[in-house]
Amino acid sequence: MQDICFHNGLRRSVFVKASLRAALCWALLVATAADPSNAQKLQKLHVWSLTLSSDTAQPAVERPFHLIIGARFKEPVPNPDELIILPTLGALQIVGDERHATYAKSGTSYTENLTVVAHAPGTVHAGAAHLDAIDARTGKPSRFSSNELILSVSGAPEDNAAALHRLSVTLAKLALLAFVLFAAVLALRTWRTRHLSPARPQKLPAAVQQEPPNPEPSSLADAVASLRKIRSRHVVFDVRTALRERVGARHGQTLNDLLRDGVVTGEMKAVLRATERAAFIAERHLPAAIDAMLASLERYTP
């Protein structure tokens, strides 16, 4: 048996990607019906099951939970994640994604864990996940669909009036503290003026001004060398910052933005993808992700 894990960090445009993938697959099915030769573009698979589930029956507002997509195939599927069309999630926001495939004699088992969060209470409808392939049992192009989920999100967002009251109380306390400090400084200055004679000014020797050290900013090579010695998430972020400076990324730009704008080309794409995985991956998978990141960096030549 062979296990293969696929990991993604925050996928900002996952709904757009899922919609595009669904539209392309649906167009391919329509084209296949009109021209049987197009069926060769779909994989011929025995799809045993395709399911959608949640790891909690009662999610809460602003508390992340997981939606789990499961699929089983009779044959080995090299990249099952490329076949799955993600479900529509409505008001749920995706904040993470972890994928895992297991290969055995009995076939391929694939699991994708979507970390999602709800920002408001109420009923949330998660649509079905889809998979387009040639049904090996009938030889016809088919769309396989999972079940749908209806979740009831509990809890309520913080009351605006209560939040405003707490803010006003905090500001009042800060204003009172500032007034007390001002009164104390004024009283001390008045006492010094009345009881202490003015000091005769003395000529002080010219101080030797020492310019503060100007440390050399850490370079990409320094950050990578540190990562080889200290394999921690903190150092991974140092390398990520140096890489983003190298490619001229602006503040707030995501990896998807850089790839879409054509800022990143060549081997640097693989380097940035490996770095993003290591930066946001689960802690138990961090060592393997750092190994992949260092291997990608060694293949990269600026």
pLDDT of residue 197 exceeding 70, the answer is no
**pLDDT-based confidence at residue 14 (cuts at 50, 70, 90):** very low
Q: Looking at per-residue confidence, does 61 or 23 come out higher?
A: 61
pLDDT of residue 216 exceeding 50, the answer is no
DSSP at 40: G
Q: What is the pLDDT of residue 215?
A: 41
pLDDT of residue 105 exceeding 80, the answer is yes
**Strand intervals (E) in the chain:** 2-8, 44-45, 47-54, 65-73, 84-85, 93-104, 107-117, 122-126, 130-135, 140-145, 149-153
Residue from 202, 180, 275, 184 nearest 235 by CA: 275
pLDDT of residue 281 exceeding 80, the answer is yes
Q: What is the pLDDT of residue 270?
A: 85
b/e map 266-288, b = 16+ CB within 10 Å: eebebbbbbbbbbbbbeeeebee
pLDDT of residue 76 exceeding 80, the answer is yes
pLDDT of residue 37 exceeding 90, the answer is no
Mean pLDDT throughout 14-24? 50
Q: Looking at per-residue confidence, does 12 or 219 come out higher?
A: 219
**pLDDT-based confidence at residue 10 (cuts at 50, 70, 90):** very low
**pLDDT-based confidence at residue 114 (cuts at 50, 70, 90):** very high
Yes or no: say if 254 and 240 are a contact pair by the CB < 8 Å rule: no
User: Domains of the chain, with CATH numbers?
Assistant: 2-153 (2.60.40), 220-299 (no CATH)
Q: What is the mean pLDDT of the chain?
A: 80
pLDDT of residue 208 exceeding 80, the answer is no
Yes or no: say if 180 and 85 are a contact pair by the CB < 8 Å rule: no
d(CA 7, CA 111): 11
Residue from 186, 63, 61 nearest 115 by CA: 63
As a whole number of Å, the end-to-end CA separation of the chain is: 39
**pLDDT-based confidence at residue 27 (cuts at 50, 70, 90):** low
* pLDDT digits 0-9 by tens, 223-278: 888 888 999 999 999 998 988 888 888 877 788 887 887 777 777 888 888 888 88
d(CA 300, CA 266): 9
* pLDDT digits 0-9 by tens, 124-176: 999 999 999 999 999 999 999 999 999 999 986 555 566 788 888 999 999 99
How crowded is residue 140: how many other Cβ atoms within 10 Å of its Cβ? Answer: 11
pLDDT of residue 110 exceeding 90, the answer is yes
Mean pLDDT throughout 20-49? 63
Q: Looking at per-residue confidence, does 285 or 261 come out higher?
A: 285
Q: What is the pLDDT of residue 144?
A: 95
d(CA 241, CA 85): 32
pLDDT of residue 193 exceeding 50, the answer is yes
116: its two tokens? 């999602």
The least confident of 87-101, 229-243, 254-268, 283-297 is 254-268
d(CA 135, CA 139): 5
